[in-house]
């Protein structure tokens, strides 16, 4: 059996202050860019034009995309629909304001550009074009935030029952960190906010939580062994003990994500970017945010030891030691 990184004793917690400065700076810069430049929303949020187009011969999707871009509708979604010769084109109205009038103008401009590139009506035909209103818009954003808040609450309750409330708080804060860093990354790359991106962010939340819970479960197991060591060392030990599993999991997940990023095409690329970044930020937060914060919470609000004996009191004293 392949064994890597077994028996390591890296001092991860030692660098938590530098890690905190780095991640705070990243979030500030990214969210600052989001405020200054604004967010890019997809057609699901802003509304626009959706067209079904049929070609005489199966075209290259990249050629369709470049043609639509040259017509002035950059960032449109091009997808094969049904037969290899049929495609759907989702394009936002110029200026970002969708209406039936703007839809007619958009459809005519795209149709003219396609015929200039591929030929007359015998080579390319527009089967249908229609206005798509912002069906999700503010309601989707509100529901997405509610979903994230509910997931945080459920996570807090679950960890408080299975472990202690201290573990739950640390895990929720670490997950919130992942949401903010992902939004900062999205703003820096100017990725379009779509339903696919929302799905990627929710996936990153689940991925990061799973990583954090595995480390916390090992912390709980090590605490039961009653080792005579500070709580800081127990957390560091748990990170090292789960390191082989973490590396193998992250490498395999990243390999699949990079395959999607480079070979799956434009439609899935924003999802792949968010997932690839999520693997890094999820690992980072599990170690430097959740772990360091748990040590601080344990020192600030140590568990009660009344009636548990001298051994329990000594263990609680060790758990109060904060990371240097």
| Residue 189 burial (C-beta neighbours within 10 Å; 0-12, 13-18, 19+) | middle
pTM for the full model?
A: 0.74
Task: Note the pLDDT of residue 26.
Answer: 92
- Closest alpha carbon to 284 in 224, 189, 211: 211
Q: Which helix (H) or strand (E) holds 80?
A: strand 77-80
Rounded CA-CA distance 216/239 in Å is 9
The kind and range of the H/E element at 26 are helix 16-37
Digitized pLDDT (tens) for each residue of the chain, 324 residues in all: 356 666 677 888 888 888 889 999 999 998 888 888 877 777 767 777 788 888 888 888 888 888 888 888 777 778 777 778 888 888 876 655 555 555 567 788 888 888 888 877 778 888 887 776 665 556 766 777 787 778 777 877 877 777 778 888 888 888 889 889 998 998 888 887 777 888 888 888 888 888 888 888 888 888 887 667 788 888 888 888 888 888 888 888 888 888 888 887 677 888 889 999 988 898 888 888 888 898 888 888 777 654 445 555 555 555 555 445
Q: Which of 284, 278, 281 is nearest to 257 (CA)?
A: 278
What is the pLDDT at residue 60?
84
Element (H, E) at 275: helix 269-284
For position 1, what pLDDT does the model report? Answer: 39
Is residue 135 helix, strand or coil?
coil
> How would you classify residue 289: left for phi > 0, otherwise alpha for psi between -120 and 50, otherwise beta?
alpha
pLDDT of residue 313: 52
pLDDT at 102: 58
- Residue 169's pLDDT is 85
Please report the domains of the chain, with CATH numbers, ordered by start residue: 13-38+137-319 (1.20.1640.10), 48-132 (3.30.70.3400)
In angstroms, the CA 144 to CA 138 distance is 10
* Closest residue by Cα to residue 116 from 60, 49, 64, 62: 64
pLDDT of the residue at 307: 47
CA distance 170 to 158: 13
Q: Which two tokens stand for residue 191?
A: 């990725």
Predicted local distance difference test score (pLDDT) of residue 181: 92
The SS3 call for residue 99 is coil
Report the C-alpha gap between 19 and 311 in whole angstroms. Answer: 34
């Amino acid at each position: 059996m392949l064994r890597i990184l077994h028996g390591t004793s890296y001092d991860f917690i030692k660098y938590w202050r530098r890690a905190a400065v780095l991640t705070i700076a990243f979030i500030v810069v990214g969210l600052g860019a989001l405020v200054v430049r604004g967010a890019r929303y997809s057609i699901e949020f802003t509304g626009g034009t959706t067209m079904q187009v049929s070609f005489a011969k199966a075209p290259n999707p990249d050629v369709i995309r470049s043609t639509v871009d040259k017509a002035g509708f950059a960032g449109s979604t091009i997808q094969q629909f049904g037969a290899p010769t049929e495609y759907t084109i989702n394009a936002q109205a110029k200026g970002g304001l969708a209406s039936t009038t703007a839809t007619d103008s958009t459809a005519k401009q795209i149709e003219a550009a396609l015929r200039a590139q591929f030929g007359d009506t015998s080579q390319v035909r527009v089967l249908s074009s229609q206005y798509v209103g912002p069906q999700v818009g503010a309601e989707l954003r509100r529901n997405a935030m509610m979903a994230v808040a509910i997931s945080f609450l459920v996570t807090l309750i679950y960890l408080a029952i299975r472990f202690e409330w201290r573990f739950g708080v640390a895990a929720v804060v670490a997950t919130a960190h992942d949401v903010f860093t992902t939004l900062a990354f999205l703003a820096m790359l100017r990725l379009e906010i779509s339903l696919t991106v929302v799905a990627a962010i929710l996936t990153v939340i689940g991925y990061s939580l799973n990583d954090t819970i595995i480390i916390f479960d090992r912390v709980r197991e090590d605490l039961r062994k009653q080792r005579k060591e500070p709580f800081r060392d127990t957390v560091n030990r748990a990170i090292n003990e789960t390191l082989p599993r973490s590396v193998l999991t992250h490498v395999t997940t990243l390999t699949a994500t990079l395959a999607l990023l480079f070979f799956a095409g434009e439609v899935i690329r924003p999802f792949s970017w968010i997932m690839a970044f999520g693997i890094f930020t999820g690992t980072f937060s599990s170690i430097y945010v959740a772990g360091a914060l748990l040590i601080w919470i344990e020192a600030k609000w140590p568990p009660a030891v009344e009636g548990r004996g001298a051994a329990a009191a000594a263990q609680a004293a060790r758990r109060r030691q904060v990371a240097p």
